[in-house]
Amino acid sequence: MAEPVLASIHVYPVKAAQGHALRAAVVEPWGLAGDRRWMLIDASAKAITQRPHPRLALTAVEALPDGGVRLSAPGREPLTVAVPDPPGTTVVDIWKDKVEAVPADEAAHVWCSEWLDTDARLVHMADPAMSRPIDPAHARAGETVSFADGYPLLLTTRSSLDALNSLIAQGDHADEGPLPMDRFRPNVVVEGSPPWAEDDWTRVAVGDLTFRVAKRCGRCVVTTTDQRTAERGKEPLRTLARHRRFGDQLVFGQNLVPETTGVLRVGDPVTILE
């Protein structure tokens, strides 16, 4: 088998909305530049995700050079949202973390609320260097993360997806497969490694940059959501439950924490350091 390489890079400017692929991306201590610096919150200031709102999968986001975003969705006029003024911070709740964020303007509130048919306000994380520590059980002092679920980057591998799709084809919901990689919303996708080899990685280099593998990624109902239609099925959770259960989690992929910063490029060699 060929040496592993970085096959693709993905960023999601607004948490839970559509992402897009890049040929290169800057790695910051808290993740890829521009990744999940925006998030939607409900009336109680809790994070809104695809778990209760699969329609978020249909929300396209264009990242603008100044850090703003342009939102679009089926049947709606696009909306350009500027980075809000930092003095207007509010405290939001993401997976029990209390994080300072800055609400976008009223036009964004109206647009998002009408699209999701619920009270939804768009907020921006002004300073990820200070805002949200990583779970101390899997972090070192001072490590922070953006509005990602828990860790700066998520790594998946093409060979493991192929292996998973083979298992789905043998199951009772074979008609749902093969699944595309976008079900798992990774940041970096590796090709050229054996299936499930990433389970045992603890430290990797991608090009000139190094990353600590923090923990395996437990998967949720979002993976059953077709990212192109927002419709839900049973897979891959049905198959992960049979073949990829680690403790109380159904696992696909690994969470990474950067040890160094710089630029990742598609085609970079991937070296397993430990």
Instruction: Check residue 87 and give its pLDDT.
Output: 73
Q: How many residues does the chain have?
A: 274
Mean pLDDT of all residues belonging to the chain: 96
b/e burial code for range 95-105 (CB count within 10 A of at least 16 → b): eebebbbbbbe
- Predicted confidence band of residue 126 (pLDDT cuts 50, 70, 90): confident
CB atoms within 10 A of CB 234: 14
- pLDDT higher than threshold 80 for residue 225: yes
Q: Could you give the percent of the chain with pLDDT greater than 70?
A: 100
- State how far the Cα of 34 lies from the Cα of 243, in Å rounded to an integer: 34
Instruction: Check residue 225 and report its DSSP letter.
Output: B
- Predicted confidence band of residue 153 (pLDDT cuts 50, 70, 90): very high
CA-only gyration radius of the chain, Å = 18
CA–CA distances in Å: residue 137 to residues 38, 150, 151, 213: 25, 12, 12, 13
- Predicted confidence band of residue 245 (pLDDT cuts 50, 70, 90): very high
* 233, 220 contact by CB (below 8 A): no
CA–CA distances in Å: residue 199 to residues 104, 108, 137, 215, 219: 39, 41, 19, 9, 14
Instruction: Check residue 130 and give its pLDDT.
Output: 84
Which DSSP helix (H) or strand (E) runs through 158? helix 158-169
- Predicted confidence band of residue 86 (pLDDT cuts 50, 70, 90): confident
pTM of the model as a whole:
0.96
Q: Could you give the percent of the chain with pLDDT greater than 90?
A: 95
Instruction: Check residue 108 and give its pLDDT.
Output: 98
- State how far the Cα of 255 lies from the Cα of 33, in Å rounded to an integer: 17
- Residue matched to tokens 């059980």: 137
Q: Which long-range contacts (CB under 8 A, 24 or more apart) does 162-170 make?
A: 162/195, 163/195, 163/196, 164/236, 164/239, 164/240, 164/244, 164/252, 167/239, 167/242, 167/243, 168/235, 168/236, 168/239
- State how far the Cα of 2 lies from the Cα of 176, in Å rounded to an integer: 30
Instruction: Check residue 1 and give its pLDDT.
Output: 56
pLDDT single digits (tens) 43-66: 999 999 999 999 999 999 999 999
